[in-house]
Amino acid sequence: MTSVREPLRRRWTGPGFETFGTVFGFVYTFLAGNFLLAAANAPLLVVLALVEDPLAAWPFFLALSLTIVPSLAGAFSAFQALGADGTAVKPVSAFLRGYKRSFRRTAPLGLGATAVLMFLFLDLTIVQFMPAAAVLVPLIVIAAAAAVCITVTVTAGLVLLPGARLKSLAKAAVYICVRSWYLSLALLALTAIILGAVLVQPVLGVALAPAPLLFIIWSNTSWAYSAALRHEDPNNPL
């Protein structure tokens, strides 16, 4: 009589130490990134929490947003230092290092983006009562969306390619935003979610929303830069 031995079933042992380390690395980076973003944009957030209707005083808040672009470079640097497996987790030092290294170029970039948006929003308040508003308003909204996409993409490029010239990165950003239009739409949607969360609940919104959503923007943008570098196109500015 022969006995048939049943195959041993492998028991699931649950997530390993490496999995917990990866999760901790990302969570720690996101929490530290939110805190550092709040610290870098403290004047904007403090006034935002005190004013009852921020939209009514949008020019004032837009002027205070000059600090956003340099802080984005710091957050992107922290994400770049974070390995795919959550290793090399030093978000604070990476944020501060990236902020300091990129400040000389991100500060003028933020100033230029703020000036462009200020001009466009002022035009929007004027032309919305004109007979040609049905044509001009969508054009102004598209121009403002393009300014946001290009600014964020250039900021990511300053972190990814620190040796590149700002003019070359601006051309590359236009190329990437147009070619990868679906990523541009995702960038605008995620930016709108961050803005909405901060406007509705300034403290809670800053504590939870920015870093995870900015990480998605960073991942998409870095992939777009890599794809542009690999793509053989004579019109490719990279």
Asked if the structure places residue 49 within a domain, the reply is: yes
Is the pLDDT at 2 greater than 60? The verdict is: no
* Most distant CA atoms of the chain, gap in Å: 96
pLDDT tens for residues 83-120?
654 555 688 999 999 999 999 999 999 999 999 999 99
Asked if the structure places residue 238 within a domain, the reply is: no
pLDDT tens for residues 174-196?
999 999 999 999 999 999 999 99
Is the pLDDT at 5 greater than 60? The verdict is: no
- Number of structural domains found in the chain: 1
Number of residues assigned to the chain = 238
Buried b (16+ CB within 10 A) or exposed e, 42-66: eebbeebeeeeebeeeeeebbebbb
Nearest C-alpha neighbor of 228 from the set 192, 174, 189: 174
Q: Residue 235 has what pLDDT? A: 53
Asked if the structure places residue 113 within a domain, the reply is: yes
Asked if the structure places residue 3 within a domain, the reply is: no
* Direct distance between the N- and C-terminal alpha carbons of the chain, in angstroms, rounded to an integer: 75
pLDDT tens for residues 52-92?
788 888 888 888 899 999 999 999 999 998 865 455 568 89
Asked if the structure places residue 235 within a domain, the reply is: no
Asked if the structure places residue 8 within a domain, the reply is: no
Asked if the structure places residue 137 within a domain, the reply is: yes
Contact predicate 142/195, CB 8 Å: no
- Read off the pTM: 0.84
Asked if the structure places residue 152 within a domain, the reply is: yes
Contacts of 34 (CB under 8 A, 6+ apart): 206, 207, 208, 209, 210, 211
Structural domain that includes position 40: 19-230
